[in-house]
Homo-oligomer: A and B are copies of this chain.
Amino acid sequence: MPTAAKTEFEVIRRNKVYEEVAKQIERLILKKLRPGDKLPSERELAETLRVSRSSIRDAIRSLELMGLVEPRQGAGTIVREVTSGSVVNSFENALMRRRELVSELLDFRRMLEPPLAARAAIHASEADVSEMEDILQRQYEKQRRGEPAVAEDAEFHYAIALASDNSVVLKVIDILMDLLRESRERSLQVEGRAQKSLAGHRRILAAIKRRDAEAAKDAMRHHIEDVEEIVLNKVY
């Protein structure tokens, strides 16, 4: 062994444009669109993403195969109701992956989010705060009706990241959401959390509103510990 390459190279994988496009559309669907909504037209997407229409079509094709979307000639491409089948599917995929990732992700959140909340308490704008209030209100209403409030939970944490006013943080969060997506880790969002979640969110937001960085940090720490307990005990 002459060169003694003790190095862990990563195998190079050429990223296919249509996969990248698919990710972004998937994100768009998760964040902004609801079942029945129309996607922007293929030509419009091609222009904004600076990519040929062929690539857009390949991406939509792959989303169609995943059952997320349904193109209709002449009418546009609409977001499909998420069927129980596809949820089960992604849930299985989640279990296929090593469970470590979930616990490691929680570790990471436990490290990052408390100081992040503290920073948000200092930097949040009025708009940020009212955005968070809106989210909590939606979470409350859904929960009162016995619905899951999956999206709202993620949105709240994302709103805090936004309020921190730091592009590096946002970049990292995006990466982590990709990690989640890649390992089909919807499971975190699937069950159980809602009960304790709402109360935790309220305490965090209250601290942010009175600009109390320490309290925000502590509230977030407790909130994440609660969530961790639920996820580790119930989902697995």
Contact = CB atoms under 8 A, between A and B. Distances in A.
Given A14-B15, A105-B168, A115-B115, A3 B38 contact: yes
A5 B28 CA distance: 10
Contact of A175 (B5, B11, B32, B172): B172
A168 B101 contact: yes
Interface residues of A, number: 48
A17 B12 contact: yes
B44 A3 contact: yes
A92 interface: no
Interface stretch (A47-55, A63-71, A190-198): A47-55
A236 interface: no
A126 interface: no
Interface in A9-67: 9-12, 14-15, 17, 20-21, 24, 28, 31-32, 38, 40-41, 44, 48-51, 55
Contacts of A3: 38, 40-41, 44
A60 to B, nearest CB: 14
Nearest to A15: B15
Contact of A168 (B50, B51, B55, B176): B176
17 contacts: A3-B40, A5-B48, A6-B32, A7-B28, A9-B24, A12-B24, A15-B15, A100-B167, A101-B168, A104-B167, A107-B169, A108-B166, A111-B169, A112-B115, A114-B115, A168-B179, A175-B175
Interface of A: 3, 5-7, 9-12, 14-15, 17, 20-21, 24, 28, 31-32, 38, 40-41, 44, 48-51, 55, 100-101, 104-105, 107-108, 110-112, 114-116, 119, 166-169, 171-172, 175-176, 179
